[in-house]
Amino acid sequence: MADGQPGREDGGQGRWFGYDIVAEDPETHARAGVLHTPHGDVPTPIFMPVGTKATVKGVLPSQLEELGAKIILANTYHLSQRPGEALVREMGGLHEFMRWDGPILTDSGGFQVFSHADNVRLSRDGVTFRTVDYDGTYVTWTPERNMQIAESLGADIVMQLDQCPGYPSPRSFVERAVELSSLWAERCWQSHTRADQALFGIVQGGMHLDLRLRSLRHLEECGDFPGYGIGGYSVGEDHETMFETLAPLVSDHMPKGKPRYLMGVGNPTTLVRGVACGIDMFDCVLPTRTARMGTAFSTEGKLNLKNARFTHDHEVLEPGCGCPACAGGFTRAYLHHLVRQHEILGATLVSLHNLYFLLELMRRARQSILDGTYGSFVRDWMDLPVSREF
C-alpha cells in the first residue's frame, strides 16, 4: 500500500472505498451490501475474526480464507506496544507482516486503553495511560498520534480514537465521553492522510439515545466518514438493554448509504437481531476465546466439551457443518479428550468450528436478505435452543 498523502481536506478518504446496498429485506431493516476496499470486496452482513496481535490465535491465514473470512481485525494498542508500529511499517505493513492478502480493519485501541481504569488520565488533548499489561510505562496518545500509528500499521479501515464508557456509568460521565470522542473524531479526520485507508467515526453515548444522536450528528458535521462504528455496547449491560437504544439508532437515524459496524459483539443471536436492525459488520474475540476454554457453538446451544457427557459421544459438533472439525469427522468424544488434556489441536479445531459457525450464519443471513425472507430467518433462529443461551 502506498505511503500517506499529506494535506488532504477529505481526511485522506480516496477513491478506494465505497459501499453498495444490493438488497433490503421487506419485513426488517436488514440489508445486503458490498464494501469495496483496496484489498478486495467484502459482502455484508459480515462477521470479522479478530487477530489481536496480528494473528487469529491458532489459525493460519490460509485456514481463515478456507473458512470464508473476507476481512479480519488487528488491535492498534497491542501492536503499538509489541512489536511496535515502526517495525510493522518496516516489514511492509500488516498485510505483508501477517501474510493476509484480504482487507484488514484496525481499531483505535481506545477500548483497551480505557479498560486500564485507574491508570488512565483524560484531557481534551488526548489520553495518558499506563501500559500495565506490558512494561508499565506511561504513554500519551493524542488523536494525531493515534492516526500516525494507524497509518504506519497500514490497514484498509481504521477507527478514530474514542472514549468507551462502561456500563453502568453516570450520565455525566457518558456525556463527557461523547464530548471527548467528538472532539477527537474531528482531529482524527483532520490529521488522517492515507488515501488508501478509510477512517471510520465511532458513535458513543452509552444507553442514552439522545447522547447517541448527539454523537452521530457531530460526526456527520465534522467530516464525510465513509463508515461508522457503534461503540460502547456489550460493556456490561444485558442484551435487551442494549437493543433499547441500538435498534432505533441504527434503523431510524444512521446514514443509509454507509456501512454500520457494531464493535465487539459476537454473540450469535445478537448478530441475527443486529442484522435485522440494519447492522452490516460485527467483530468479537468470543468464538476463539471460548474455543480455547473448550466451548463450541452449536444450534443446540453451548457445548462445554469439558463435560463428562461427551466422553462417548460419536457425533461431530454440529451435524452438517462444513468446518474442518465437523467435515473432518472429529467427534465430540475426541474433542472432549483434547480439551481435557489441554492439547493445542483441541483449541485449534474448536476455534475453526466457532469461526465457521458465525461466518456461515452471516452467509445464510445475507442469502435470506437477497431472497427477501430475513423476517422468517430471524423467527426460525429464535425458535432454536441456541437463541436462549447465546
The predicted structure's pLDDT at residue 10: 53
pTM attached to this predicted model: 0.95
Burial class (CB in 10 A: 0-12, 13-18, 19+), 357: buried
Same domain, 138 and 271: yes
State which H helix or E strand residue 312 sits in.
none
Same domain, 110 and 148: yes
Domain boundary among 283, 298, 313: 283
Q: Which residues are annotated as a binding site for substrate?
A: 107-111, 162, 204, 232
- Cα–Cα distances in angstroms (integers) from residue 41 to residues 19, 34, 36, 98, in the given order: 9, 6, 5, 19
Same domain, 197 and 109: yes
Kindly compute the dihedral angle of the four CA atoms of residues 131, 154, 274, 364, in this order, to the nearest 10 degrees. Answer: -130
Same domain, 277 and 161: yes
Retrieve residue 256's grid coordinates: 443509509
Region of 206 (left: φ > 0; alpha: ψ -120 to 50; beta: rest) is: left
What would the mean pLDDT of 93-115 be, rounded to a whole number? 92
Task: pLDDT band for 184, please (50, 70, 90 cuts).
Answer: very high
Q: Which residues are annotated as a binding site for Zn(2+)?
A: 321, 323, 326, 353
**Please, how many CA atoms are within 13 Å of residue 45, restricted to the half-sphere of its CB?**
38
| Residue 12 is assigned to a structural domain of this protein | no
The predicted structure's pLDDT at residue 74: 98
Q: The domain that contains 33 carries what CATH number? A: 3.20.20.105
Active site residue 3: no
| Residue 304 is assigned to a structural domain of this protein | yes
**In percent, how much of the chain has pLDDT > 70?**
96
Task: pLDDT band for 7, please (50, 70, 90 cuts).
Answer: very low
CB 381 within 8 A of CB 358: no
Strands 72-74 and 104-106, sheet pairing: parallel
Decide if pLDDT at 285 tops 90: yes
The predicted structure's pLDDT at residue 94: 98
Number of domains the chain is built from: 2
Retrieve residue 222's grid coordinates: 465534522
Task: pLDDT band for 113, please (50, 70, 90 cuts).
Answer: confident
| Residue 30 is assigned to a structural domain of this protein | yes
The predicted structure's pLDDT at residue 217: 98
CB 79 within 8 A of CB 91: no
Long-range pairs for 77-82: beta carbons < 8 A, 24 or more residues apart: 77/109, 77/112, 77/113, 78/52, 78/53, 78/109, 78/112, 79/53, 79/54, 79/106, 79/153, 80/109, 80/149, 81/131, 81/134, 82/53, 82/134
Q: In a 3-state reduction of DSSP, which class is residue 343?
A: coil
Decide if pLDDT at 231 tops 60: yes
| Residue 160 is assigned to a structural domain of this protein | yes
| Residue 102 is assigned to a structural domain of this protein | yes
> Which of 25, 196, 280, 283 is an active site residue?
283
Same domain, 219 and 189: yes
Q: What is the residue range of 303's domain?
A: 285-384
> Which of 25, 107, 156, 280 is an active site residue?
107
Q: In a 3-state reduction of DSSP, which class is residue 171?
A: helix
What would the mean pLDDT of 51-69 be, rounded to a whole number? 98
| Residue 330 is assigned to a structural domain of this protein | yes
Same domain, 72 and 92: yes
| Residue 198 is assigned to a structural domain of this protein | yes
Same domain, 329 and 275: no
Decide if pLDDT at 3 tops 50: no
- Residue 129 neighbours by CB distance under 10 Å: 23
Nearest in space to 311 (alpha carbons), one of 338, 334, 333, 341: 333
CB 162 within 8 A of CB 108: yes
Q: Which residues are annotated as a binding site?
A: 107-111, 162, 204, 232, 321, 323, 326, 353
Active site residue 133: no
